[in-house]
């Protein structure tokens, strides 16, 4: 009775006693093994049953296919056609060749048709009713004997080169014949012993029409693939827009009107590719390059879904939330809501709301009550707060018809996955799910099943083998000692500004830094150097962040120093240069940061600035078109100016930067595993930013980071408190405040959880 098996193979029987005890107490168990609730438990078992059924069907299918295949083989030999016809209708030679082509022309199967392999072909020396083999066969052959044996299995004959079996008197002296019975019950490949048919390859008859035909087909397909690829590259050069117009795709006329007044007439390629699938109600995973209009691609079907739902359900006083859009950052949520409002300009009855951190919970609740919405854009953490605090939102989510995950790969990554899973558990199962991102690594494709239905579609407008970055963006990398990075940033910024002396020309630059506190340090330095600069990261209050983000979008000449809060999804349409100081957390983050420039097919530039010990990262992006940036000569006056400016920055900012710098690199496997080297590098960083000595760490923090007894790491507990009280406050500031908003700088959170 308790013999069910759950996810990782654990038997429920082990927990049986607990259930029984709870049952006697009345009411049945509230929680089930593994802490899951009744409904989740039920769903888990329903899923298991479904999976089992699917597996059985799959096995059936494979068995059937195997039988068909064996009959195709025998059908190739004309004398065996009648045998095949006895069980299955034989294929005509053309159909057979087509079937083979379909099977073997799949990508990766080409080697099945090389010179030393091929289908069986009748030999002129073939005996009338039994078997055949080519004259100079080097390996083994098998052909089914006409008629079945008594156990229902088929009889096959095998020849072994060099065998001296005397029973095959009609065959040449150099080869022997062995009779083997293949029965699914008694004879697997193991029973063939040394006569295993796969030991040597078969020889293709030289002028087989079948092989020639397949070769011809292969070449044709390869050629068309190359042409397709070239066409795609050409298309991307021509811009992101397609020829399809919004008024051609059967969406509401009021939406089309709103599109026209926003200046959108033609769809972008990703919109053209994904819209028909989204409108037919299918789940879909969409990959398209940065800045190609993915937000509109999911907002358009979202609006259509709401319109449809509202036309069938007019009675409710407080409307359900029909569409939920999840995204990783507060700024992105506001941006998506703003685009939605533009598209809803002529739909009076449809409301959009955001639910993000940094706003008081009660304020959220009041807003949701007073201004009910059908489309909700939220960050996972804050939405989960509402769901768990039973603020009434769970009830309104019961009517949900569409779930959208923007930046899906990030949301399904470790930092967010748990929250997203919990949210998905509270949503109705009968819904459509849309997942969008510019990067979808393989492992994310696998976990996307958490949200998507099994029979979902995958739309990839990037194309296999094509770079995932916009072709219009020139990409450079620069390797220099990390002590010189701030001087180099200043130098590149100045050069970039001087290239475009006309003040009317837009110059927007984003400088990405590894953490929030390093962002603050770089911002303070550039400000000291009288540059027109703003900062944005998770330590800043939400109002400030929103103001800076809006100001940067509107500006003509401004530098934004940012942590990863701006790396994904943020649409600043005119960014001309992106500088990344230090390695990003992974390849995907590099692509998204770079994607803040070159949007909508515009031109842009990107510079990745790394230290020699970060060079390994270039291997992760080796398929992207990066060129080496020549190391510039730094003017000694500028160097002095930077040192003076650095001296004006407060120690608390520098100490916090040191702590978060250490935390970030400690969390990166390739660098963090060499603790002694890491400590040395951190101390060099501390020196380069003008600290007299490296700040200390709390003992507990140091041991969590695996840095307790590492030379060069100072521990706070071993010093007098008065001596190092400033260190203590900066550690707290740099490390613990990350807990408040890990949506932004989650790598630093990893540090708190240990290396």
Ligand X SMILES: Nc1ncnc2c1ncn2[C@@H]1O[C@H](COP(=O)(O)OP(=O)(O)OP(=O)(O)O)[C@@H](O)[C@H]1O
Segment interacting with ligand X (CB under 6 A) among 177-185, 207-215, 283-291, 700-708:
283-291
Closest approach of ligand X to the CB of residue 585, in Å: 17
Residue of 582, 562, 565 whose CA lies nearest to 486:
582
Minimum CB distance to ligand X smaller for 409 or for 745: 409
Indicate which single residue of 573, 625, 632, 717 sits in contact with ligand X (rule: CB under 6 A).
Answer: 573
Counting contacts by CB under 6 A, is residue 469 touching ligand X? no
Distances in whole angstroms, Cα of residue 11 to Cα of each of 36, 47, 67, 520: 15, 16, 37, 52
Closest approach of ligand X to the CB of residue 571, in Å: 4
Tell me the backbone φ, ψ of residue 55, rounded to 5 degrees. -60, -45
Indicate which single residue of 294, 396, 410, 527 sits in contact with ligand X (rule: CB under 6 A).
Answer: 294
Answer positive or negative: Cα dihedral of 69, 74, 75, 81.
negative
Q: In Å, how far from its chain's centre is CA 326?
A: 15
Beta-strand runs (E) in 152-304: 154-161, 175-182, 241-245, 266-268, 284-287
Minimum CB distance to ligand X smaller for 571 or for 701: 571
Closest approach of ligand X to the CB of residue 262, in Å: 7
Closest approach of ligand X to the CB of residue 278, in Å: 14
Counting contacts by CB under 6 A, is residue 599 touching ligand X? yes
Indicate which single residue of 143, 211, 267, 302 sits in contact with ligand X (rule: CB under 6 A).
Answer: 267
Counting contacts by CB under 6 A, is residue 113 touching ligand X? no
Indicate which single residue of 256, 278, 285, 296 sits in contact with ligand X (rule: CB under 6 A).
Answer: 296
Closest approach of ligand X to the CB of residue 569, in Å: 4
Indicate which single residue of 255, 295, 448, 469 sits in contact with ligand X (rule: CB under 6 A).
Answer: 295
Counting contacts by CB under 6 A, is residue 290 touching ligand X? yes
Indicate which single residue of 571, 667, 701, 748 sits in contact with ligand X (rule: CB under 6 A).
Answer: 571
d(C-alpha 513, C-alpha 559), whole Å:
13
The 10 Å CB-count burial string (b at 16+, else e) for 622-656 is: eebebeebeeeeeeeeeeebbeebbeebeebbbbb
Closest approach of ligand X to the CB of residue 724, in Å: 43
Of all residues in this chain, which one has the CB nearest to ligand X in the complex? 293
Segment interacting with ligand X (CB under 6 A) among 2-10, 45-53, 293-301, 545-553:
293-301
Say how many CA atoms lie within 13 Å of 40 toward its Cβ. 18
Closest approach of ligand X to the CB of residue 722, in Å: 49
Residue 477: both structure tokens together: 């990398």
Counting contacts by CB under 6 A, is residue 357 touching ligand X? no
Tell me the backbone φ, ψ of residue 580, rounded to 5 degrees. -110, 115
Minimum CB distance to ligand X smaller for 569 or for 584: 569
CA angle 537, 357, 446 (to 5 degrees): 85
Segment interacting with ligand X (CB under 6 A) among 41-49, 117-125, 189-197, 288-296:
288-296
Closest approach of ligand X to the CB of residue 34, in Å: 36
Pairing of strands 142-148, 154-161: antiparallel
Counting contacts by CB under 6 A, is residue 438 touching ligand X? yes
Closest approach of ligand X to the CB of residue 476, in Å: 20
d(C-alpha 395, C-alpha 368), whole Å:
13
Minimum CB distance to ligand X smaller for 508 or for 666: 508
Helices and strands counted in the chain (H then E): 27, 23
Minimum CB distance to ligand X smaller for 165 or for 600: 600
d(C-alpha 47, C-alpha 41), whole Å:
10
The 10 Å CB-count burial string (b at 16+, else e) for 350-378 is: bbbbbbbbbeeeeebeeebeeebbbbbbb
- Residues 28-67 as x/- pattern, contact with ligand X by CB under 6 A: ----------------------------------------
Counting contacts by CB under 6 A, is residue 600 touching ligand X? yes
Distances in whole angstroms, Cα of residue 733 to Cα of each of 311, 653, 656, 727: 52, 10, 7, 10
3-state secondary structure of 602: coil
Minimum CB distance to ligand X smaller for 410 or for 750: 410
Closest approach of ligand X to the CB of residue 456, in Å: 20
**What residues between 118 and 157 interact with ligand X by CB under 6 A?**
none
Residue of 350, 340, 364 whose CA lies nearest to 320:
350
Residue 219: both structure tokens together: 């070449």
Distances in whole angstroms, Cα of residue 721 to Cα of each of 169, 267, 540, 732: 98, 63, 28, 14
- Contacts (Cβ under 8 Å, ≥6 apart) of 108: none
Closest approach of ligand X to the CB of residue 574, in Å: 10
Counting contacts by CB under 6 A, is residue 569 touching ligand X? yes
Minimum CB distance to ligand X smaller for 258 or for 611: 258
d(C-alpha 176, C-alpha 168), whole Å:
6
**Rama region for 196: left / alpha / beta (φ>0; ψ in -120 to 50; rest):** beta
CB 548 within 8 A of CB 570: no
Distances in whole angstroms, Cα of residue 391 to Cα of each of 328, 361, 383, 387: 22, 10, 10, 7
Q: Scanning the structure block, which residue is given the tokens 């029979």? A: 455
Closest approach of ligand X to the CB of residue 430, in Å: 27
Closest approach of ligand X to the CB of residue 606, in Å: 14
Indicate which single residue of 70, 142, 292, 508 sits in contact with ligand X (rule: CB under 6 A).
Answer: 292
d(C-alpha 155, C-alpha 179), whole Å:
8
Closest approach of ligand X to the CB of residue 596, in Å: 7
Closest approach of ligand X to the CB of residue 55, in Å: 37
Indicate which single residue of 90, 176, 291, 358 sits in contact with ligand X (rule: CB under 6 A).
Answer: 291
3-state secondary structure of 557: strand
CB 439 within 8 A of CB 347: no
d(C-alpha 66, C-alpha 473), whole Å:
50
Residue of 743, 744, 734 whose CA lies nearest to 666:
734
Closest approach of ligand X to the CB of residue 573, in Å: 5
Minimum CB distance to ligand X smaller for 391 or for 571: 571
Residue of 750, 755, 753, 747 whose CA lies nearest to 514:
747
d(C-alpha 68, C-alpha 676), whole Å:
63
Minimum CB distance to ligand X smaller for 275 or for 355: 275
Segment interacting with ligand X (CB under 6 A) among 294-302, 309-317, 624-632, 720-728:
294-302
**Rama region for 263: left / alpha / beta (φ>0; ψ in -120 to 50; rest):** left
Residue 243: both structure tokens together: 């020829």
Segment interacting with ligand X (CB under 6 A) among 290-298, 354-362, 483-491, 604-612:
290-298
Closest approach of ligand X to the CB of residue 684, in Å: 35
Tell me the backbone φ, ψ of residue 476, rounded to 5 degrees. -130, 155
Total residues contacting ligand X by CB under 6 A comes to 19
Minimum CB distance to ligand X smaller for 265 or for 739: 265
Q: What torsion, rounded to 10 degrees, do the Cα atoms 589, 594, 600, 604 define?
A: 180
Minimum CB distance to ligand X smaller for 296 or for 624: 296
Segment interacting with ligand X (CB under 6 A) among 24-32, 136-144, 592-600, 740-748:
592-600
Closest approach of ligand X to the CB of residue 566, in Å: 10
Counting contacts by CB under 6 A, is residue 595 touching ligand X? yes
Indicate which single residue of 41, 156, 159, 264 sits in contact with ligand X (rule: CB under 6 A).
Answer: 264
**What residues between 664 and 703 interact with ligand X by CB under 6 A?**
none
Counting contacts by CB under 6 A, is residue 293 touching ligand X? yes
Counting contacts by CB under 6 A, is residue 268 touching ligand X? yes
Segment interacting with ligand X (CB under 6 A) among 103-111, 291-299, 526-534, 744-752:
291-299
Counting contacts by CB under 6 A, is residue 78 touching ligand X? no
Residue 618: both structure tokens together: 């270039």
User: Binding residues for ligand X, per CB under 6 A?
Assistant: 264, 267-268, 271, 288, 290-296, 438, 569, 571, 573, 595, 599-600
């Amino acid at each position: 009775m308790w013999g069910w098996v759950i996810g990782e193979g654990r038997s429920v029987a082990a927990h049986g006693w607990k259930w029984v005890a709870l049952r006697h107490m009345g009411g049945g168990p509230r929680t089930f093994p593994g802490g899951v609730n009744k409904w989740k438990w039920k769903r888990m078992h329903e899923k298991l049953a479904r999976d089992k059924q699917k597996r059985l069907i799959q096995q059936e299918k494979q068995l059937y296919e195997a039988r068909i295949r064996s009959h195709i083989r025998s059908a190739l030999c004309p004398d065996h056609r009648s045998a095949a016809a006895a069980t299955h209708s034989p294929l005509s030679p053309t159909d057979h060749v087509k079937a083979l082509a379909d099977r073997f022309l799949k990508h990766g199967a080409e080697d099945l048709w090389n010179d030393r392999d091929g289908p069986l072909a009748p030999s002129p020396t073939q005996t009338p009713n039994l078997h055949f083999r080519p004259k100079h066969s080097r390996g083994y052959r098998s052909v089914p004997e006409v008629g079945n044996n008594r156990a229902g299995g088929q009889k096959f004959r095998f020849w072994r080169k060099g065998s001296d079996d005397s029973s095959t008197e009609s065959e040449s002296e150099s080869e022997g014949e062995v009779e083997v019975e293949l029965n699914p019950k008694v004879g697997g490949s193991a029973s063939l012993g040394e006569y295993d048919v796969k030991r040597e390859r078969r020889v293709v008859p030289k002028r087989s029409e079948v092989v020639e035909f397949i070769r011809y087909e292969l070449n044709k397909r390869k050629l068309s693939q190359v042409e397709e690829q070239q066409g795609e590259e050409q298309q991307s050069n021509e811009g992101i827009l397609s020829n399809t117009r919004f008024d051609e795709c059967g969406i509401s006329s009021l939406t089309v009107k709103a599109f026209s007044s926003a200046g959108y007439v033609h769809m972008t390629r990703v919109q053209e590719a994904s819209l028909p699938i989204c409108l037919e109600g299918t789940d879909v995973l969409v990959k398209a390059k940065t800045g190609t209009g993915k937000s509109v691609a999911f907002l358009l079907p979202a609006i259509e879904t709401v319109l449809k739902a509202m036309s069938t359900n007019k009675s409710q006083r407080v409307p359900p939330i029909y569409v939920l859009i999840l995204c990783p950052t507060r700024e992105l949520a506001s941006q998506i809501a703003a685009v939605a409002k533009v598209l809803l300009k002529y739909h009076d009855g449809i409301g959009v709301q955001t639910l993000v951190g940094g706003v008081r919970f009660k304020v959220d609740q009041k807003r949701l009550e007073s201004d009910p919405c059908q489309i909700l854009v939220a960050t996972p953490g804050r939405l989960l707060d509402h769901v768990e605090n039973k603020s009434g939102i769970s009830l309104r989510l019961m009517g949900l018809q569409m779930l959208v995950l923007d930046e899906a790969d990030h949301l399904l990554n470790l930092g967010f996955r748990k929250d997203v899973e919990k949210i998905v558990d509270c949503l109705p199962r009968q819904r459509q799910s849309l997942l969008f991102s510019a990067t979808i690594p393989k492992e994310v494709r696998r976990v996307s099943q958490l949200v998507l239905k099994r029979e979902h579609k995958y739309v990839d407008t990037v194309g296999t083998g094509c770079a995932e970055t916009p072709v219009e963006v020139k990409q450079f990398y620069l390797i220099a000692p990390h002590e010189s990075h701030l001087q180099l940033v200043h130098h590149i910024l100045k050069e970039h500004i001087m290239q475009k002396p006309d003040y009317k020309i837009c110059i927007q630059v984003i400088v990405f830094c590894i953490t929030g506190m390093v962002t603050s340090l770089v911002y303070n330095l550039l400000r000291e150097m009288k540059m027109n600069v703003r900062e944005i990261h998770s330590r800043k209050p939400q109002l400030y962040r929103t103001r800076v983000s809006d100001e940067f979008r509107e500006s003509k000449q401004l530098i934004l120093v940012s942590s990863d809060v701006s790396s994904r999804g943020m649409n600043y349409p005119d960014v001309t240069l992106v500088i990344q100081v230090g390695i990003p957390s992974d390849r995907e983050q590099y692509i998204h940061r770079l994607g803040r420039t070159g949007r909508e097919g515009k031109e842009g530039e990107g510079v990745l600035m790394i230290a020699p010990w970060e060079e390994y990262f270039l291997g992760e992006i080796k398929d992207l078109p990066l060129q080496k940036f020549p190391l510039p000569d730094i003017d000694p006056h500028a160097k002095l100016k930077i040192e003076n400016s650095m001296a004006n920055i407060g120690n608390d900012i520098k100490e916090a930067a040191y702590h978060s710098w250490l935390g970030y690199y400690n969390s990166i496997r390739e660098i963090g595993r060499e603790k002694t080297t890491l400590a040395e590098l951190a101390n060099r960083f501390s020196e380069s930013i003008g600290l007299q000595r490296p700040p200390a760490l709390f003992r507990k923090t140091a041991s969590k980071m695996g840095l307790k007894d590492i030379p060069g790491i100072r521990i706070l507990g071993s010093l007098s408190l008065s001596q190092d009280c400033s260190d203590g406050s900066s550690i707290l500031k740099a490390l613990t405040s990350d807990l408040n908003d890990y949506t932004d700088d989650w790598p630093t959170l990893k540090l708190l959880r240990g290396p």
